[in-house]
Chain A
Amino acid sequence: MKSLLAISMMLVSALAMGGCASTRELEKVQSQQMMTDAKADQAAKDAQAAKAASDAATLKANEAAARAENALKMAEERAKIADEKAKIADEKASKADDVFRKSMRK
């Protein structure tokens, strides 16, 4: 029973001492928490900004890729047209040669 009393007293005194410490500590903790919150807010803001920037960059990149793809398609189309034109020109030249060769017979 004695020992139980002794333990209780020790606890009470410890609590009393802890109570004195917690006011300062609490202020400190609160201040730290505020700072952490602020930092977290800032980090969140930064992350949002980074995401926005990233989204914008992705959009830009996608747009550029689309433009490049379009340009490629158009270049391919132009090359195809040029090929066809060259083919037609060759065919015309060849047809003209055939007619000429025939005309050179007696």
Chain B
Amino acid sequence: MKRAPDEDQLVPRHLAEPVPRHLEENVERNEFPVAKGDDVVGRLGFLHLEKGDTLPDIARHFGLGINDVSAANPGVDMWAPKAGERIMLPLSFILPDAPRKDIVINLAAMRLFQFKGGSEPLTVLTYPAGVGTDERPSPTGQMYVERKAFRPTWHVPASIAEDHRKKGDPLPAKVLPGPQNPLGECALYLSKSSYLIHGTNKPASIGLRATNGCIRLYPEDVRKLYENTPVKTAVNIVEQPYLLGQSNGVVYLEVHAPLENLNSAEFDKIYAKLKNIEKESGRTLDWSKVKNVLAEARGIPVPIFEVRQGSGKGVAEPVEVKHPGELYGRPKIPELKTDAWSVLAADVRDEIDAVRLSAIINHQGPQIPARVLARNGSYRVVAGPFNDAREAKEAIKRLKIDLEIDGTLIEPVKKKLSGGRG
């Protein structure tokens, strides 16, 4: 796409006001060609939110993780963003600094890359991932897919069983396939014992450090990976919070770690590379810009240097994306029925609090349907409908254990029997 003559600077265009242009209906989100010598794929997008959108729903629809969308849009309420708000879709990625073959997972970016077509043209399929917590981190290093399983049974590890027992939520020794199974529908068992790449029954956890070390993918992504990945495929897991890459003569920097969590070893590597760029080009880098990118840590490739003067014209143009209306994977909320059981999850004065809580409950895995009912200046969050008292009580238990909410059981309204004789 041609740029206007006055746009010859390395301006982070996504920070500027939008230029009116036609809206793209389809934007590439998972599969990208990799041009020779290029390290950056995809392009940034922008979208205007509609009423009822949440960032996790937007993230899933566009093949992004929650981390991607929240880091790119600081200050936007994840659960109750304003309708009409313009947000960035960070659909551009710097490929990890690793051989471009098979599967590479960058834990810092919470993203899996699968390279296809060993020689040119190279294609990369990329999916957002959920990774291990600080207490139980995902492993790094070279491993491979040892076996695969469709509709796997989850054999609960002793450490997780103990955690659940402590929470008052004991688990069975094994969980069969179905909505309660946290492995989802597909699992790829890695050679590093007890670590898997698998689906999930909590899609909203993609882009979070929430696993016990496994790599979680959206159900729709793990299915594609499962089909595309033969047993023995190599898997290289890296931790690269600072990524440097070139595309069309422009150097980009992508940062995934806030300054307070500075990874010194990785940072030193990047610093050495930046100094080398200066040395080779014989020109000085804009270090204040580098500092800003590091401070903001927005997880998007930001142009920081022209390899040749004027090559900044090669900076990819962001695209304005048309709101799809219906978002893929967005939790459906069935209508409340007066003759069904339900649960009062909260009664609050602030509408935003109610909307936020309702959205969080809806995004549990498996889903607990919930909605906000306005009543005399207060807002009630009601979960349901449930088929019977047992289901409703199970929801109350989950609300308590997972979200620390004390739910109140609401019995069905009994239908009055007609007294007439007809």
Contacts and interface: CB of A to CB of B under 8 A. Distances in A.
Interface of A: 89, 92-93, 96-97, 99-106
A106 B204 contact: no
A99 B403 contact: yes
**Main DSSP-derived SS at the A contact region:** helix
A100 B133 contact: no
A92 B353 contact: yes
Interface of B: 77-79, 130, 133, 160, 182, 202, 204-205, 208, 210-212, 350, 352-353, 356-357, 360, 363-365, 402-404
B182 A106 contact: yes
Contacts of B210: 101, 104-106
Contacts of B352: 89
A-B pairs, 5 with minimum CB distance = A104-B205, A103-B402, A104-B210, A106-B182, A100-B360
Given A89-B352, A96-B356, A96-B360, A103 B182 contact: no
Given A89-B352, A92-B353, A96-B356, A103 B78 contact: no
B403 A104 contact: no
A32 to B, nearest CB: 79
Nearest to A102: B402
A103 B364 contact: yes
Nearest to A92: B353
Contacts of B404: 99
Contacts of A100: 79, 204, 360, 363, 403
Nearest to A106: B182
Contact of B160 (A89, A99, A101, A106): A106
Contact of A96 (B182, B204, B357, B364): B357
Contacts of A92: 350, 353, 356
A105 B364 CA distance: 10
Contacts of B356: 92-93, 96
Contacts of B208: 101, 104
A18 to B, nearest CB: 96
A47 B368 CA distance: 84
Contacts of A101: 208, 210
B57 to A, nearest CB: 14
Contacts of A103: 360, 364, 402-403
A68 B208 CA distance: 51
B77 A93 contact: yes
Contact of A106 (B79, B212, B363, B364): B212
A103 B160 CA distance: 14
Nearest to A96: B356
B17 to A, nearest CB: 24
Contacts of A102: 402
A81 B353 CA distance: 19
A99 B204 CA distance: 13
A104 B78 contact: no
A100 B364 CA distance: 8
